[in-house]
């Protein structure tokens, strides 16, 4: 009986959260948000991961262990720097008002290249959202699926029946992250908007990690009342230094790439 009540109330609660987030965007003059995956980075160091074992690894979320401290400090490869520079061809057509970034070095470096250093950490218009990174998502089952499936479309996750304990539940599992991010973006924006540059543009750039960024795009698309936001985003595969653009004026979602 309790489970039924929760199920019945979940969609209205989600809709209310999305509407509140959409109002924050509207009041801030934000018309477009681009979710951008970091560029190509160094591989994870297995020796560093081994050193972390027993110290920072979290027994309650074991599938986050592959993306702990060692993963957060991975730097861009030269090809990644080239990817980020090339992405400026499409990114530069937008008028950036503020940025939201993962705490990972590779996301920060991608942001610095693509914004030409205009939004350094601590400066007005720069916000950090820790849960953009897989190990900080606070959703163990999302981390578990990502640990096995890696990069791909959300539809791949929705259809998957191979991850033990998550079989056929990918859509519901990632909906929890969508709901969580909706609330977190709402609070982050409410706190940060007062520090936005007054002469800024109408676009926010979010730098993070696929496939979690795809879920963020659903949260943003729904907040902007873009029809079939989840269906549109779920079929997109976000490559390195590529973006998903949610446009509230045109009620459109599109993939941006060099």
What whole-number distance in Å separates Cα of residue 215 and Cα of residue 26?
A: 21
At what angle are helices 2-27 and 170-192 packed, to 10 degrees?
40
- pTM of full prediction above 0.85: yes
Of residues 51 and 10, the one with the higher pLDDT is: 51
Of residues 198 and 240, the one with the higher pLDDT is: 240
- What average pLDDT score do residues 52-81 get? 70
DSSP state of 137: S
Helix spans in 138-249 (H): 140-149, 154-159, 170-192, 212-223, 229-234
Q: Where are the beta strands (DSSP E) in the chain?
A: 32-37, 96-101, 126-128, 203-208, 243-247, 252-256
Q: What's the confidence (pLDDT) of residue 2? A: 34
Residue 119 pLDDT greater than 90, yes or no: yes
Burial (Cβ within 10 Å: 0-12, 13-18, ≥19) of residue 162: exposed
How many Cβ atoms from other residues are within 10 Å of residue 184's Cβ?
18
Residue 218 pLDDT greater than 60, yes or no: yes
Residue 55 pLDDT grade (very low, low, confident, very high; cuts 50, 70, 90): low
Cα–chain-centroid distance for residue 178?
10
- Cα torsion angle, 108, 211, 132, 48, sign: negative
- What average pLDDT score do residues 170-185 get? 96
Residue 14 pLDDT grade (very low, low, confident, very high; cuts 50, 70, 90): confident
What CATH number is given to the structural domain containing 145?
A: 3.40.50.1240
Structure tokens at 150: 């890696």
Question: How many domains are there within the chain?
Answer: 1
- What average pLDDT score do residues 93-121 get? 96
Give the number of C-alpha atoms closer than 13 A to the C-alpha of residue 154, restricted to the C-beta side.
25
Structure tokens at 54: 């027993």
Q: Domain range for residue 153?
A: 2-256
């Amino acid at each position: 009986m309790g489970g039924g009540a929760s199920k019945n109330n979940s969609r209205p609660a989600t809709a209310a959260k999305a509407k509140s987030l959409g109002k924050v965007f509207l009041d801030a003059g934000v018309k477009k948000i681009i979710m951008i995956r970091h560029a190509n980075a160094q591989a994870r160091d297995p020796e560093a991961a081994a050193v972390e074992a027993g110290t920072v690894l979290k027994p309650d979320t074991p599938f986050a262990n592959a993306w702990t401290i060692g993963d957060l400090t991975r730097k861009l490869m030269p090809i990644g720097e080239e990817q980020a520079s090339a992405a400026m061809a499409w990114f530069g057509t937008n008028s950036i008002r503020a940025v939201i970034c993962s705490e990972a070095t590779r996301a920060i470096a991608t942001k610095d290249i693509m914004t030409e250093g205009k939004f350094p950490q601590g400066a007005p218009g720069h916000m950090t959202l820790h849960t953009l990174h897989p190990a900080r998502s606070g959703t163990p089952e999302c981390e578990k699926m990502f640990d096995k499936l890696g990069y791909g479309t959300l539809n791949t996750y929705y259809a998957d029946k191979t991850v033990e304990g998550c079989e056929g539940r990918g859509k519901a599992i990632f909906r929890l992250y969508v709901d969580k991010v909706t609330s977190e973006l709402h609070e982050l924006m409410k706190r940060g908007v007062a520090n936005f540059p007054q002469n800024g543009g109408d676009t926010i750039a979010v730098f993070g990690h696929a496939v979690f960024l795809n879920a963020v795009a659903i949260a943003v698309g729904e907040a902007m009342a873009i029809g079939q936001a989840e269906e549109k985003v779920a079929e997109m595969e976000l490559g390195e230094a590529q973006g998903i653009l949610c446009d509230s004026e045109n009620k459109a979602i599109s993939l941006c790439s060099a």
